[in-house]
Amino acid sequence: MTAAGALAGWRAGLASALLGIALWQGLVWATGLPRFILPGPALVAETLWTSRVLIAENAVVTIAEVLMGLLLGALLGGLSAIGLAASPLARALVRPMLVFSQAVPVFALAPLLTLWLGYGLMSKVAMALLIIYFPVTSAFFDALMRTNPDWLGLARVMGASPMRIMWHIRIPAALPGFASGLRLAAVYAPIGAIIGEWVGASKGLGYLMLLANGRAKTDLMFAALIVLAVFTILLHAAVNRFAERVLER
C-alpha cells in the first residue's frame, strides 16, 4: 500500500468515526434516555480520561491475552494445516474431528477452560486460541491444497522430494491464504479473551465491563468497550500490514 493510499484510508476511518460519534450524540438527544442507560460521547470521553489508569491496567491484561492467543493460534493453525496437506492419513482422521469441533459452540467451552486452567491468564489465552485456530487452519489448508498442479508436476519431474515441494513451492504459494486466516484471527482473538473474562477473571477489559455494568456505571462500560474496539482495529491493521510486507517479498 502506498503512502497516499494509507493516508486516504486513515482519513476515511476518521470520517467514519466522526460520523458514528455524531449519530451517537443524535441518538442521545432524540431519545432523551438517562445517562446511566445511554451516556453521551462527551461523558464517555470524560470517563476515559478520569479512569485512564484503571482502564489501562485492565487493558494491558486483555492485550497480553489476545497477543498470546493470536501467536499460539497462528502457530498451531499453520502447523496443523501443513500436516493435513502433507498427509492423506491425517486428512482422513483429523479433518473430520476439526469440522465436528465447530459444531460445539466455542463460547460454551469457556466455563470448562476456566475450571481446568483457573481464573488466570491461561484460560483466556486458551479461549482466544480456540476461537482463531479453525479459521487459520482452514484458510491455510485450503490454500495449500490449491497449489498450481503444473508447478507440482514440474517439481516431481525434477526429482524434488515431498518435503522440498512443501517448503519451496506449496507453502510460499499458500501464504496469501494464511494471511487471510491471520486477518480473521486478529478480529476474533479479542472476542475469545473477552468471553473468557466474562466467565471468570479478576482483571481485563471484559471483567471491567461486567464490574461497571453491575454498578450501573454505563459510561465506564462504554469507555472500556471503545478501548477494546480501538485495540482490535489497530491489531487488524498491524496484522494486515505485516501480511502485505511478507507477501511483497
Residue 205's pLDDT is 95
Residue 127: which domain range?
Answer: 43-248
- Could you report the per-residue pLDDT of 165-193, keeping only the tens digit for each? 999 999 999 999 999 999 999 999 999 99
Q: What percent of the chain shows pLDDT beyond 90?
A: 55
Contact residues for 224 (Cβ-Cβ < 8 A; gap 6+): 55, 58, 59, 205, 208, 209, 212
CA–CA dist 131, 65 (Å, integer): 13
Residue 80 has pLDDT above 70, yes or no: yes
What is the band of 16 on the pLDDT scale with cuts at 50, 70, 90? confident
Residue 17 has pLDDT above 90, yes or no: no
CA–CA dist 16, 19 (Å, integer): 5
What's the mean pLDDT when you consider all of the chain? 89
Determine contact, residues 155/102, Cβ cutoff 8 Å. Answer: no
Q: Which amino acid is at 19?
A: L
The answer to pTM > 0.85 is yes
Assigned domain for 14 exists: no
Q: What percent of the chain shows pLDDT beyond 70?
A: 96
143-163: average pLDDT: 88
Assigned domain for 200 exists: yes
54-77: average pLDDT: 95
Q: How many domains does one find in the chain?
A: 1
Assigned domain for 239 exists: yes
Determine contact, residues 179/189, Cβ cutoff 8 Å. Answer: no
What is the band of 9 on the pLDDT scale with cuts at 50, 70, 90? low
- For residue 169, give the CATH number of its domain: 1.10.3720.10
Assigned domain for 140 exists: yes
- Could you report the per-residue pLDDT of 62-73, keeping only the tens digit for each? 999 999 999 999
CA–CA dist 84, 89 (Å, integer): 8
Determine contact, residues 189/73, Cβ cutoff 8 Å. Answer: yes
- Could you report the per-residue pLDDT of 88-101, keeping only the tens digit for each? 898 888 888 887 77
Residue 7 has pLDDT above 70, yes or no: no
Residue 102's pLDDT is 75
Contact residues for 83 (Cβ-Cβ < 8 A; gap 6+): 90, 94
Assigned domain for 141 exists: yes
Residue 249's pLDDT is 67
Assigned domain for 113 exists: yes
- Could you report the per-residue pLDDT of 188-240, keeping only the tens digit for each? 999 999 999 998 888 999 999 999 988 889 999 999 999 999 999 999 999 99
Residue 90's pLDDT is 87
Q: What is the 3-state secondary structure (H, E, C) of the chain?
A: CCHHHHHHHHHHHHHHHHHHHHHHHHHHHHHCCCCCCCCCHHHHHHHHHHCHHHHHHHHHHHHHHHHHHHHHHHHHHHHHHHHHHHCHHHHHHCHHHHHHHCCCCHHHHHHHHHHHHCCCHHHHHHHHHHHHHHHHHHHHHHHHHCCCHHHHHHHHHCCCCHHHHHHHHHHHHHHHHHHHHHHHHHHHHHHHHHHHHHHCCCCCHHHHHHHHHHCCCHHHHHHHHHHHHHHHHHHHHHHHHHHHHHHHC
CA–CA dist 245, 120 (Å, integer): 35
Assigned domain for 190 exists: yes
Assigned domain for 4 exists: no
Lowest mean pLDDT among 7-16, 54-63, 162-171: 7-16
Residue 3 has pLDDT above 60, yes or no: no
